[in-house]
Amino acid sequence: MSILFKNAKIITTEKGSMKVLENSYLGVDGKFIDYIGTQKPKKTYAEEIDMYDKILMPGIVNGHAHSAMNLLKGLGSDLPLQEWLENAVWPIEGKMRDQDFVSGMNMIILEMLASGTTSFSDMYFRPMITQKCIEESGIKADITRVLMGIGDDIDYATFPDRFESIEFHKNFDGAFDDRLHVDWCIHAEYTISEKIAAQWAEEIQKLGGRFHTHVSETKREHVGCIERHGKTPTKWLSDLGFFNLPSYAAHCVWCTDDDLRILKEKGVTIVHNPTSNMKLGSGFAPIQKALDMGINVSLGTDGSSSNNNVNMFEEMHLASIIHNGYTCDPTIMKPEAIIRMATLAGALEQGRKDTGTLEVGKKADIIAINTDAPHMVPDYDTLALVVYSAQASDVCMTMVDGKILYKNGEYLTMDRDKVFHDYMASHKYLSAFAK
Amino acid sequence: MSILFKNAKIITTEKGSMKVLENSYLGVDGKFIDYIGTQKPKKTYAEEIDMYDKILMPGIVNGHAHSAMNLLKGLGSDLPLQEWLENAVWPIEGKMRDQDFVSGMNMIILEMLASGTTSFSDMYFRPMITQKCIEESGIKADITRVLMGIGDDIDYATFPDRFESIEFHKNFDGAFDDRLHVDWCIHAEYTISEKIAAQWAEEIQKLGGRFHTHVSETKREHVGCIERHGKTPTKWLSDLGFFNLPSYAAHCVWCTDDDLRILKEKGVTIVHNPTSNMKLGSGFAPIQKALDMGINVSLGTDGSSSNNNVNMFEEMHLASIIHNGYTCDPTIMKPEAIIRMATLAGALEQGRKDTGTLEVGKKADIIAINTDAPHMVPDYDTLALVVYSAQASDVCMTMVDGKILYKNGEYLTMDRDKVFHDYMASHKYLSAFAK
């Protein structure tokens, strides 16, 4: 199958910098982009799609999510974190059945595809069950089975989180033509004993793969780790060897300059989650500093129960403005850096060097943004328009690996009605346990 | 004309608190709400509209805007404020013709109606020209002719900003069945001489009306005022007598506790503009403190050239989370307070006691929000859903004074194609002057 997009405004990348082509052409053959230019290509494509009034940009990567937690969103709004977890989240989460993980995951994928997300990094339970949602929908994902191990009574040899993680990795890493990556994880320093963590770090380094974790999200976690271990979460993770794997660390709100130097040296990606950091009162991550140091910074929503959606346009917007407010400097966090965070940096986080930009030879992970709307005129600066003016609802097409999965409100690989039906059944079942 | 909305989720107000009615009815007769209840009313309405899966809430009031500046949005993104104004904005603004103010205003009204805004407070030029956009569209507005007067050579007797303001007020305050209010203004302390300001304050107190200004938006302005006058902008305005009129003050980012006490004592509304304050690096306004003191705090977008849209759902979202992040306290800025800021507080700012809530006897300024979307499920907490999950694009109906102005993408009082045509003509003309 080959498709030629014509009359498009295209955010392409040349020599590492974004460039906007007006009224241009982008050709897709199979899974790959095979043409970008201002002139119509000589080659004939099976289908031509008019993208007049549309911006084509790379698909968005949600760098940190807890998918099926969308079933819990809105519960215990505005409670302090611990109270929210203990009284609102955990009592219901413990009741979730396999089908609830599936219905939550499918609903998240509907939301992601409609809002331009072509890949996401997920940390949650029952990945052996939810992997089929990735297979069927056509989206990309790096999924990890959340691993927690507090308590001295855990026997590493029979630790179920470990077995499930390894089993999942063995069976599904690279599945579905590499759309699914299975990464390793510990939830966070404060939810695992050092003894278990050390054994796990040693084992996964031998197995190889990528590592996903939470780092210094709250001051309490950061300071608590120093009290527990005499070092910051970053140093603790690094010393245990986790960062010898390609790694991505969610939040990093309270990371020190020394922490940032470790992350830079180890090539760790920071996943910035601005909505979550604001809403939960976690604080302002040192993102401009990390960017200035050359650290790869991607962007994520965190779980939609603490967000409360998976709208990456909201994250781009927040990332672009809150740091200006915090530092009283309007010149930082430029639109190009923000778009890079939401696209290429996320692809690199996931070890996907074949996507993240619109360039010939890259995988065709592409979204189209409609500009025929009052809030999208005029266009003096297309990158600024995407970051400051655009809404997730302006996304009118989402393509992954050359296949259109979403177009003008229609899902081409998913049964929207069935997903809603199953989701509402899960919601009905779970809401009975809500306090 | 009478309309009955049925099967709706309704955010109504009882004894000053918001309450959500499920599966309920709201009747509109003429300009007013004449029924709200869970039972079908006995009265027969001319039309019944099914609002299954929809939330009805009060129309949103944008408390501070500079409408036609949308023609300049995206120009000079991320420049420091002064450089942005001097090099990007002013050279073009000076070239705007009457028709450009009209095309900019009409485009803003399209954007506002599609995103649930039923009234706005505007400070800009040529109100005698743009008032017809208010008349024709059916939206409500408090408009003021921006008034600036720096320089000792200004002769108050022949000062054109003054004459235009008074002429506009005389001819149009209360026009269009009170949809248009004409308010008084000075742009800000730093753009007017004290001599002119004192005469103006005296004159408008005699004329009566409402007063709109910028207060302590930036640290530079706040500190500069203390240097110039030995007092803060709030104290300076208060001492000159401006706040003896019902007043609303945009930004108040750098207001001191003493300033807040003055604003409280004088009954001044603070208009919070979170996107603008973040994007321009102005800082964090003391909003929770103001709310705790009982100050009326409304919400605004500021000009869409420094936003870059007039999306009040974005403002609600930001207002609800950035202060949590800044204070590291997730329990402040509750959803009900945020919705009140965006609705009732704005109505009170504009002196419109007959709107701002959904209650029997109030004007029917109502919007409907679609919840049949992946990001809008589940609904454990409707107020939280509106603030944290909803998008402006979920607005599917906007009614002002009992008249539907926007429904499912269609404008009932405006010619969308003509507005776009005229706007693009203005844009083409103006962009020739862009550097």
Euclidean distance between the first and final Cα of chain B, in Å? Answer: 51
Residue of B nearest to A107 (CA): B374
Mean pLDDT of B189-198: 96
Note whether A393 contacts B: Cβ–Cβ < 8 A: yes
**How far from the centroid of its chain's Cα atoms is residue B130's Cα?**
16
Whole-number pLDDT of residue A1: 85
Torsion of CA B186, B191, B195, B197, to 10 degrees: 10
pLDDT digits (tens, 9 = 90+) for B12-41: 999 999 999 999 999 999 999 999 999 999
Q: Do residue A210 and residue A264 come from a single domain?
A: yes
B325 neighbourhood in chain A, CB within 8 Å: 277-279, 281-284, 322
Whole-number pLDDT of residue B78: 83
Closest listed residue to residue A280, CA positions, set A303, A258, A298: A303
Whole-number pLDDT of residue B80: 83
Minimum-distance CB partner of B74 among A307, A332, A385: A385
Whether the CB-CB separation of A181 and A143 falls below 8 Å is answered with yes
Dist CA B172 CA B182 (whole Å): 7
pLDDT digits (tens, 9 = 90+) for B76-100: 888 888 888 888 888 899 999 999 9
Q: Do residue B230 and residue B321 come from a single domain?
A: yes
Q: Do residue B326 and residue B366 come from a single domain?
A: no
Q: Do residue B86 and residue B53 come from a single domain?
A: no
Q: Do residue A282 and residue A388 come from a single domain?
A: no
Instruction: Please indicate, yes or no, if residue A425 is contained in any of the structural domains.
Output: no
Instruction: Please indicate, yes or no, if residue B261 is contained in any of the structural domains.
Output: yes
Beta bridge mates, B48: B4
Dist CA B93 CA B104 (whole Å): 12
Q: Do residue B278 and residue B381 come from a single domain?
A: no
Whole-number pLDDT of residue A7: 98
Q: Do residue B342 and residue B281 come from a single domain?
A: yes
Average pLDDT, chain B: 96
Whether the CB-CB separation of B289 and A243 falls below 8 Å is answered with no
Q: Is the pLDDT of residue B71 over 80?
A: yes
Q: Do residue B376 and residue B330 come from a single domain?
A: no
Mean pLDDT of B146-172: 93
Q: Is the pLDDT of residue B435 over 80?
A: no
Dist CA B141 CA B356 (whole Å): 14
Minimum-distance CB partner of A331 among B80, B325, B326: B80
The CATH number of the domain where B10 resides is what?
2.30.40.10
Q: Do A328 and B283 touch (CB under 8 A)?
A: yes
Q: Provide the number of structural domains found in chain A.
A: 2
Q: Do residue A308 and residue A374 come from a single domain?
A: no
B393 neighbourhood in chain A, CB within 8 Å: 391-393
Beta strand extents in B231-317 (DSSP E only): 247-251, 269-272, 297-299
Token readout for B319 is: 């207002």
Minimum-distance CB partner of B311 among A282, A375, A379: A375
Tell me the nearest-neighbour CA distance from A78 into chain B, angstroms: 5
Which residues 61-80 of B are in CB contact (within 8 Å) with A? Answer: 70-71, 73-75, 77-80
Note whether B55 contacts A: Cβ–Cβ < 8 A: no
Minimum-distance CB partner of A74 among B70, B384, B420: B384
In order of B6, B19, B22, the CA distances from B38 in angstroms are 9, 12, 7
Q: Is the pLDDT of residue B255 over 90?
A: yes
Mean pLDDT of B119-142: 97
Note whether B331 contacts A: Cβ–Cβ < 8 A: yes
Minimum-distance CB partner of B281 among A279, A324, A385: A324
B381 neighbourhood in chain A, CB within 8 Å: 74-75, 77
Note whether B420 contacts A: Cβ–Cβ < 8 A: yes
Interface test with A, best of B219, B275, B388 (most A CBs within 10 A): B388
Token readout for B168 is: 């506009």
Note whether B202 contacts A: Cβ–Cβ < 8 A: no
A414 neighbourhood in chain B, CB within 8 Å: none
Whole-number pLDDT of residue B81: 80
Note whether B378 contacts A: Cβ–Cβ < 8 A: yes
Whether the CB-CB separation of B245 and B204 falls below 8 Å is answered with yes
Instruction: Please indicate, yes or no, if residue B71 is contained in any of the structural domains.
Output: yes
Please report where in the chains the tokens 């991320």 appear, as a residue.
B78
B284 neighbourhood in chain A, CB within 8 Å: 325-326
Q: Which domain holds residue B197?
A: 60-349
pLDDT in tens, chain A (435 residues): 899 999 999 999 999 999 999 999 999 999 999 999 999 999 999 999 999 999 999 999 999 999 989 999 999 888 888 888 888 888 899 999 999 999 999 999 999 999 999 999 999 999 999 999 999 999 999 999 999 998 878 899 999 999 999 999 999 999 999 999 999 999 999 999 999 999 999 999 999 999 999 999 999 999 999 999 999 999 999 999 999 999 999 999 999 999 999 999 999 999 999 999 999 999 999 999 999 999 999 999 999 988 999 999 999 999 999 999 999 999 999 999 999 999 999 999 999 999 999 999 999 999 999 999 999 999 999 999 999 999 999 999 999 999 999 999 999 999 999 999 999 999 999 999 987
Instruction: Please indicate, yes or no, if residue B417 is contained in any of the structural domains.
Output: no
Q: Do B381 and A74 touch (CB under 8 A)?
A: yes
Q: Do residue A119 and residue A209 come from a single domain?
A: yes
Dist CA B31 CA B288 (whole Å): 34
In order of A54, A104, A107, A386, B210, the CA distances from A110 in angstroms are 21, 10, 5, 21, 48
Whole-number pLDDT of residue B1: 85
ipTM: 0.97
Instruction: Please indicate, yes or no, if residue B420 is contained in any of the structural domains.
Output: no
Tell me the nearest-neighbour CA distance from A280 into chain B, angstroms: 5
Q: Exposed, middle or buried by CB within 10 Å (0-12, 13-18, 19+), for B94?
A: exposed
Dist CA A109 CA A301 (whole Å): 13
Dist CA B252 CA B322 (whole Å): 16
Whole-number pLDDT of residue B203: 98
Helix (H/G/I), strand (E/B), else coil: A289: helix
Whole-number pLDDT of residue A136: 98
Whether the CB-CB separation of A210 and A184 falls below 8 Å is answered with yes
Tell me the nearest-neighbour CA distance from A336 into chain B, angstroms: 11
B75 neighbourhood in chain A, CB within 8 Å: 380-381
The CATH number of the domain where B314 resides is what?
3.20.20.140
* Amino acid found at B79: L
Instruction: Please indicate, yes or no, if residue B424 is contained in any of the structural domains.
Output: no
Beta strand extents in B288-342 (DSSP E only): 297-299
Band the pLDDT of B384: cuts 50, 70, 90: very high
Whole-number pLDDT of residue B139: 98
Tell me the nearest-neighbour CA distance from A292 into chain B, angstroms: 17
DSSP class per residue in A96-120: --HHHHHHHHHHHHHHHHHTTEEEE
Token readout for A9 is: 């405004």
Q: Do residue A242 and residue A324 come from a single domain?
A: yes
Note whether B273 contacts A: Cβ–Cβ < 8 A: no
Instruction: Please indicate, yes or no, if residue A196 is contained in any of the structural domains.
Output: yes
Whole-number pLDDT of residue B153: 85
Minimum-distance CB partner of B377 among A322, A381, A423: A423
Band the pLDDT of B332: cuts 50, 70, 90: very high
Dist CA A263 CA A297 (whole Å): 11
Whether the CB-CB separation of A262 and A252 falls below 8 Å is answered with no
Whole-number pLDDT of residue A82: 82
Instruction: Please indicate, yes or no, if residue A219 is contained in any of the structural domains.
Output: yes
Q: Do residue A245 and residue A384 come from a single domain?
A: no
Mean pLDDT of B135-145: 98
Whole-number pLDDT of residue B11: 98
Whole-number pLDDT of residue B35: 98
Closest listed residue to residue B57, CA positions, set B408, B419, B371: B371
